[in-house]
Amino acid sequence: MNYQNFFTGALDDLRDQGNYRVFADLERHCGSFPKATARGADVANVTIWCSNDYLGMGQHPSVLGAMHDALDRCGAGAGGTRNISGTTHDHVLLEAELADLHGKEAALLFTSGYVSNWAALGTLAGRIPDCVVLSDALNHASMIEGIRHSKAERMIWKHNDLEDLEAKLAALPLDRPKLIAFESVYSMDGDIAPIREICDLADKYNAMTYLDEVHAVGLYGPRGGGIAEREGLMDRLTVIEGTLGKAFGVMGGYIAASAALCDFIRSFASGFIFTTALPPAVAAGAAASIRHLKASRAERDLQKAKVTEVRARLEALGIPHVDNPSHIIPVMVGDPVKCKYISDVLLKEYGIYIQPINYPTVPKGTERLRITPSPVHTAEDIDHLVGALGQLWEYCQLARMPLAAQ
């Protein structure tokens, strides 16, 4: 076999299908997020409108201060896996902070949200005898991979569809172990799961619940505990999973659950045991971010105001976007070539960076620009974005929505 030809051939196929991904080479400007330098053919200053650093915590003084302090106290890396010299006091403090955030007995850290889903779901579903996993159809790749890896039986229920979930639960023996895996805020449509009703079904059919709150932690609830905190449901979930890399602005993932469940994952999950612990500075920065957002709602309030403003401005121009109850604004283009084109022109001519979202991340015909307004976007940033989108909608002759009744 000619290995190089195989690689380039596969990449050519991807390009032909319009699915080849190109990185934007960015340098974010600390202290002036969402501004960044984009390096490509030409170097340009851009405003980022698609970051998952939803609240700008990646440049927050208390986060940076904690990271500098830990770096100076402890040096760069953790120096080992959690079991072999890699558990530092910063990891212990962060896990306590997370358990408290979700009102659980314990929490367990992983190197990313992806790894936390892969390892926790893989271990739970793989080690509980005869476990069946009921997985929402739109679950994130990390959950799907974890469930696959477990080799447990898997049933996929229609997205956010309680009737379909109940039909599948009812078809299983009441005493068979079951795990319902789902998310709170789904990141591409920005819709939110009916968590209370899912927990009711879990109780009725004797199932565990596993909730991915990756796009909600830091953002919702009085202390940033997520949608389950906002709805007063945290105690009803068996496992809450989250990331430290999105609204908390740093890196890492975790689960929060009972002490026994966390200890079980700690003791059996390969993806936890056999990998170097997060650097102490990362743990300290994440803990500072969580601590800040537990006490301060200023960032959440300001983000909500910016989201409302961007939505209203798009509405006024008739630019189609998904109406949803979250902070994610999917602007619908519905054509992969135009979606990529608009994103390219926004970057090159307007200094606005929004990654196009095409198939297979979203279904064909629903290609979109996913906009995430944050407290660090200014009124001028919003004017510039909305003006640019208005011009491009005109230029590309894209459909507009009927204008809202005056």
Q: Which is nearer to ligand PLP, 104 or 140 (CB)?
A: 140
Q: Which is nearer to ligand PLP, 342 or 369 (CB)?
A: 369
Least Å distance, CB 245 to ligand PLP, is 4
Least Å distance, CB 244 to ligand PLP, is 7
Residue 247 is a binding residue for ligand PLP (CB under 6 A): no
Q: Which is nearer to ligand PLP, 144 or 382 (CB)?
A: 144
- Out of 123, 243, 343, 372, name the contact with ligand PLP by CB under 6 A: 243
Q: Which is nearer to ligand PLP, 249 or 253 (CB)?
A: 253
Residue 47 is a binding residue for ligand PLP (CB under 6 A): no
Residue 140 is a binding residue for ligand PLP (CB under 6 A): yes
Q: Give the residue carrying structure tokens 């980022």.
A: 48
- Out of 212, 229, 299, 367, name the contact with ligand PLP by CB under 6 A: 212
Catalytic residue among 246, 294, 304, 340: 246
- Out of 49, 114, 157, 272, name the contact with ligand PLP by CB under 6 A: 114
Please state, in angstroms and rounded to a whole number, the distance separating the CA atoms of residues 7 and 22.
16
Least Å distance, CB 112 to ligand PLP, is 3
CA atoms within 13 A on the CB side of 241: 27
Residue 142 is a binding residue for ligand PLP (CB under 6 A): yes
Least Å distance, CB 187 to ligand PLP, is 5
Least Å distance, CB 252 to ligand PLP, is 7
Cα→Cα distances 102→116, 278, 390, Å: 16, 21, 42
CA atoms within 13 A on the CB side of 85: 5
Tokens read off for 338: 């135009």
Site string for ligand PLP, 328-367 (x = CB under 6 A): ----------------------------------------
Residue 245 is a binding residue for ligand PLP (CB under 6 A): yes
Instruction: For residue 108, give every residue at least 6 positions away whose Cβ sits within 8 Å of its Cβ, in sequence order, or none.
Output: 95, 116, 120, 254, 255, 262, 265, 266, 272
Site string for ligand PLP, 154-183 (x = CB under 6 A): -----------------------------x
Q: Which is nearer to ligand PLP, 120 or 386 (CB)?
A: 120
Annotation marks residue 151 as catalytic: no
Query: Known catalytic residues?
Result: 246
Q: What residues make contact with ligand PLP under the rule CB under 6 A?
A: 112-114, 117, 140, 142, 183, 187, 212, 214-215, 243, 245, 253
